[in-house]
Amino acid sequence: MPEIDPEMDPEIDEATALEMYRKMTELRLFEKRAHDLFLQNLVKGTTHLGTGQEAVAAGVSQAMNADDYTFTTYRGHNHVLARGTPMTPVMAELLGRENGLMHGKGGSMHLLDVSHGILGAYAIIGAQLVIANGSAWSALYRGTKQVTVCFLGDGATNIGAFHEALNLAAVWKLPVVFICENNQYMEYTAIGTVTAVPRPAADRAASYGLEPVVVDGNDVEAVYHIAQAAIARARDGGGPSLIEAITYRHGGHSRADPGKYRPDEEVKAWLARDPLPAYRQVLIGRGVDEATLDAIDKNARDAVDRATEEAKAGAEPRLELADTNVWADGGHSWRN
């Protein structure tokens, strides 16, 4: 699968385009609200926002089937919401409330929603890759045609688990698609200063018999097309893919990071390529009525406001919940 020029891709139908615009808008407003709530000391623990990276989550999720699996990183709000998990339980989890996804026990970095195929957000760099192989093997064994999509950051490409997972996925021809969101920085360090190749994911693909695939991670339609091709290939028995999506986080690594290590001109240049207003202009250029987009914007604002109030109204977790979802007896009954 070679690199794809987005200009060569067929145009997307309007309904799909508007759905991706809706997702991107909701993700952007959700992350902004999460930041505001943190400043009000309402968010428990740390948070890693995906502001600026919405096109990757929106484009990939749009290419997936409802029963496909998703694994993500601690910067996972975007991916979870894009797959259809309602806002309120995600927001409530950030606030540590009992109506959260994990009843307030997981927080921002540990989101899980099996009902939407989200098998976890992982705070250990690279940990999700090898586990994603497990879910892909399970689907292969059961013959269900489900595909696992595993998101990772650029920093994970320098972790041993990355190489182990890619190797085994290729050997077993697993139905898994690895999406590297290369936002240029691994925490506070520019990825290029500690990596031997210019493209940390794509330039290593050949080591595992895979094609180098690079896509503009700020172009939601380019992401959608490339993900659609990789997912279809995996579903049809063609094995894994590794996609490097080039993007940029607008803020620092986490809530405590002002991101001052990034050159001002670099930040300015990337902010000028903000995927959300760029896609809005693309849609307007195709003849989409601005009133339609304004209505999507308003609905997204209303949804975030509603989720915020419902999350705030959630109770503090009861003490007895501390002992739930902790122990297993070693048996197989959990499968049934």
**3-state SS, residue 136:** helix
Query: Where exactly are the structural domains of the chain?
Result: 6-313
Q: What is the pLDDT at residue 326?
A: 76
Q: What is the pLDDT at residue 117?
A: 97
The fold adopted by the segment(s) 6-313 is Rossmann fold (3.40.50)
Q: How many CA atoms lie within 13 A of 317 on its CB side?
A: 22
Q: What is the pLDDT at residue 8?
A: 46
Structure tokens at 274: 């903000």
Nearest to 77 by CA among 111, 104, 106, 124: 111
The residues with which 179 forms a beta bridge, in sequence order, are 151, 243
Contact in structure between 53 and 24 (CB atoms under 8 Å): no
Q: Which residues of the chain have pLDDT under 50?
A: 1-8
Please state, in angstroms and as integers, the Cα–Cα distance from residue 88 to each residue in 73, 83, 98, 110, 264, following that order.
20, 14, 11, 16, 35
Q: What is the pLDDT at residue 323?
A: 83
Q: What is the pLDDT at residue 45?
A: 87
Contact in structure between 247 and 218 (CB atoms under 8 Å): yes
Please state, in angstroms and as integers, the Cα–Cα distance from residue 179 to each residue in 17, 78, 222, 231, 299, following that order.
21, 14, 14, 11, 29
Backbone CA torsion sign across 150, 151, 154, 156? negative
Convert the pLDDT of each residue in 165-176 to its tens digit.
Answer: 999 999 999 999
CA 212, CA 235: separation in Å to the nearest integer? Answer: 19
Q: What is the pLDDT at residue 143?
A: 98
Structure tokens at 164: 């182990």
Contact in structure between 147 and 210 (CB atoms under 8 Å): no
Convert the pLDDT of each residue in 23-37 to its tens digit.
Answer: 999 999 999 999 999
